[in-house]
Structure 1
Amino acid sequence: MKYKDRFMYYFSHAHLLDLQRDKTEKKFEDLKFMGKYVDYNYLLLEWKENFVNVKVATPEEAFLGLAEDKPIIDYFNFDELFDDEVFNSSPAMQLAKEVFKKQFSSTLKLNLASNLDTQPEAKELWQKLIPDLKDEYTLKEWMQQFSHMSDALFNDKSVYKDLRRFALDELQLSSKYNIDIESINFNDDLRGTPIQQSFLDFVEKAKPNNDRHPEHKELDYFTTAYNCLNILGIDKEPNKKAKFINTFHDSLHAYYAAHCDYLISEDEGLLLKAKVIFKLLNIDTKVLHVNDFEKTIGQLSGIIDEDAKSYLTLLRHDLSKGLVINNKQSLRYNREYTTIKASQNHFGFFNRLDYIRDQDDGLIVVLYRDSLNLSKFTSYKEFEAVTNKIVKVMGLDKYLKGEYTEEDTEQIINGEWCGRTWEIDEFEFCLEINKGTNKFSFSIIL
């Protein structure tokens, strides 16, 4: 696996959902093959967590830990729920049972039947999604109808095709209005169509109102935006190929990829929609077809220097010729900051340099990572990979510490990581978690 030491490959929950649909044993061969690249790097947004994190699991381990794939309707069996022994275990639980039953009996006035009486084509379509069209539902009835709608979209291919065909025929966004999602003005172009609002305004209104799990609002917004490109027909996918479950899983692939530097795929539809959503949401994840990635992998992997002297040559090049993106004077200290975009990732990770001219402490260069994507984590595997690359270049540090060990992980977890420190000629090099920014950093002090 060429350049595997230069990249960190991740798999996500979306990959497992894809394989869960495979009822043969071949999926276990796919999981094993995937594991050769991704090791234990599993991206997952847990039910109660606010952001995606890296879990330590191989693809096979993560897949075997998945819950059984059951129809959504099975999760809304209220009679079975309230007959559970837990609700009859004490007077307090019996009282809770009555409160829940009262809540589920409350009325929702949606006026679905009335609004659709004048639109026979739309009514026929909605009845495939919601068999029992009424103006009022109890909360219990509506949740059961909603589960029917979800199952119809996921399991009945014709329902989604009919829904999408209705959007194509009624809105005519691609045919009559010639909406191009790759246009620089795409977001605002929809204002002059029957949508009568920007694409992102439309998404804001279309996204689920997930008050029970507000921590997932970023996921809900992203996947809604992605799926709207397909539902509205403006991704120009032929309707005969459109499948809701495929598009939904692809939206999850794009969401998890938005936490990485690159999304690599051979699925042209996924690449196009992901590229559009990344651009609209200012996410700096690069989209590459697998063939293009193979052609440019050497260039993308950067240069790994063999010794400190050759590394200093790269450092001097970026300090003198790198792209300056900010310059400011400190309000607290007698120092000036110049922020430079690195010409390539130093040690395969750091992409920013702060060149600090301090009147008291001299010259300091701080390397760190600044990613304009959804990532809010640095994994222990990244700490390990970067530490080992620097140790390979610099050798043992002044305290005779070398490659990354389990002790480093424990220290990071406890907030006690000492990192590594080298003194070479007039330079001091420090690999650390910066106390001011709390970022994983590599500092050079002259």
Structure 2
Amino acid sequence: MPAVYIYLDWNVFDGLQKIQQLNDSDKEAFTFINNLIAQQNVFVPYSNAHINDLIRGYKKNPTYTQGDLSFIAQITGNLAVVQYWGHDQVTWHQRDVFQFFEDALEEKSNDFDSLEKLCEGDEFGMMKTMMDLFKSVPLPDNFSKLFELDPVFDKIFATSREKLTIYSLMDDLMKMSSLLKTDYSIYKSLRGFTSKIIKKYKNDPSLKAQLQILDNQEAPNFLKASSDEMYEWAKNKSSSKTSGNSDYSKVIDTYLKIDWRGYKSDERFDNMIDDALHTFYAAHCHFFVTEDDRCHYKATETFKELGILTRVFKPKEFLSFVKQTLKDGDSGQILREG
């Protein structure tokens, strides 16, 4: 029988570590998965999405990180599946999980999350001179009206509200990525604000008249757009390229688009991004096992929309599926349906 690859979400790795603490019904499913791995009936890779999960945990409490890394090494045998920057396909290889974690931790420590921190690395002082210039350039007078639209903008543009300068706006935009990761309400609020504005102005005759005067052909279409069309519009307007790997772009974009629809949507932006990554890597395996209800739904929908054959299960569902398959006497069905 060909090799079977199972991609496990971090919550399943965590459950495998804590089998003895689980209730009886959960313990049966996790013990079954553990035995499959121990008997080398399946192969389990880890990815940089797991590394991201561990880094978040490490920043909150580093006590358990070494044990978590040891467990990943034990379960996976250091088999990694990674989409490296600049590559047009994933790489399957042996990579020491401890070294991977240390490299990723060091890389994240060099991230710039503010203009002030960025300027600290400017040994010639040229950037600081430029930033000082921007501190004296005011924002347009009507920028303040933004804060009347929704309270979420008070959080996103906190510095700009206090100091109405181009520098403050640039600094707020630079901090936004970090802010989305630490304030779990912002992503949800932005999505809600967008839906509210669309509903409010979709049939507003005065807005339509203003757009006609401005000869803006695009905005009326945007106001009529569905959730998926809005996502595609925003993605196409972005100048950033997700990856040279078209499959990566398809899976990640589809997952995020499904989240944007609002059903079983994540409230934590960083979790959503990493779950999209987990889904991409799971697409290279026969099965994806996760305890997360939101991820389970969105991964299933992503694979369905893209015609990817990977099956998504929760641990108990996976146990039931294999038991039924073996009962039917057709072990080959596992791979054919996977």
When the two structures are superposed, what TM-score results if normalisation uses the length of structure 2?
A: 0.62
Cα distance change of structure 1 residues 198 and 257 upon mapping to structure 2, 3 Å threshold? farther
Is residue 160 from structure 1 mapped to residue 187 from structure 2 by the alignment?
Answer: yes
Residues 258 and 283 of structure 1 are in contact (CA less than 8 Å); yes or no, is this contact kept in structure 2? yes
- List runs of 5+ in structure 2 lacking aligned partners: 1-33, 200-220
156-165 or 46-55, which moves further after superposition?
Answer: 156-165
Residue in structure 1 matched with residue 255 of structure 2 by the alignment: 226
Structure-to-structure mapping, 1:152-231, within 5 angstroms: 152-167=179-194, 196-207=224-235, 209-211=238-240, 215=244, 219=248, 222-231=251-260
2:279 is the alignment partner of 1:262? no
The total of aligned residue pairs comes to 268
Matching residue within 104, 120, 123 for 1:80: 120
1:3 aligned onto 2:30: no
Describe the shift of the 1:63–1:297 C-alpha distance in structure 2 as closer, same or farther (beyond 3 A).
farther
* 1:295 has 2:324 as partner: no
Conserved? CA contact 1:73–1:151, under 8 Å = yes
Q: 2: distance between equivalents of 1:220 and 1:112?
A: 36
Give the structure 2 partner of residue 65 of structure 1: 103
Q: Distance in 1 between matches of 2:256 and 2:144?
A: 24
Aligned ranges 1:19-418 → 2 under 5 Å? 19-22=54-57, 23-68=61-106, 69-70=108-109, 72-73=112-113, 77-83=117-123, 114=142, 117=145, 120-122=148-150, 124-131=151-158, 132=160, 144-167=171-194, 196-207=224-235, 209-211=238-240, 215=244, 219=248, 222-232=251-261, 234-237=262-265, 242-297=267-322, 344=333
* Structure 2 counterpart SS, 1:82: coil
What is the CA–CA distance in structure 2 between the aligned matches of 1:343 and 1:277, rounded to whole Å? 25
Which one-letter code corresponds to 2:123 in the other structure? D
Counterpart secondary structure, 1:215: coil
The Cα of 1:247 is off from its aligned counterpart by 1.9
Identity of aligned residues (%): 21
Two-structure CA RMSD over aligned residues (Å) = 4.4
Q: Which has the higher strand share?
A: 1
Give 1:264 shift. Answer: 0.6
Letter in structure 2 aligned against 1:257: A
Query: 2 CA distance for matches of 1:223 and 1:242?
Result: 17
Q: CA offset at residue 275 of structure 1?
A: 1.2
In structure 1, what is the equivalent of residue 213 of structure 2? Answer: none
Q: What's the CA shift for 1:28?
A: 2.3
Q: In the aligned structure 2, how far is the partner of 1:213 from the partner of 1:231? A: 17
User: Does the Cα contact within 8 Å between 1:72 and 1:150 map onto a contact in 2?
Assistant: no
Provide the secondary structure at the position in 2 that maps to 1:273: helix
Aligned counterparts of 2:296 and 2:175: Cα–Cα separation in 1: 31
Deviations along 1:74-119, one digit per CA (max 9) or x if unpaired, are 58744334325xx9xxxxxxxxx79xx99xx99xxxx998588388
Relative distance call for 1:210 and 1:58 in structure 2 (3 A) is: farther
More helix by share: 2
The letter of the residue matching 1:209 is S
TM-superposition CA deviations, 1:211-239 (whole Å, max 9, x none): 4775266545543443344444x2145xx
Q: Tell me the SS of whatever aligns to 1:3.
A: helix
Out of 153-162 and 257-266, give the one that drifted further.
Answer: 153-162
SS in 2 for 1:32: helix
SS at match of 1:73: coil
User: Is the contact made by 2:79 and 2:93 (CA closer than 8 Å) also made in structure 1?
Assistant: yes
Larger Rg: 1
- TM-superposed CA distance for 1:288, in Å, is 0.9
Question: Which protein, 1 or 2, shows the higher relative CO under an 8 Å CA cutoff with sep ≥ 6?
Answer: 2
Q: Contact 2:55/2:105 (CA < 8 Å) preserved in 1?
A: no
Q: Does the 8 Å contact 2:258/2:298 carry over to 1?
A: yes
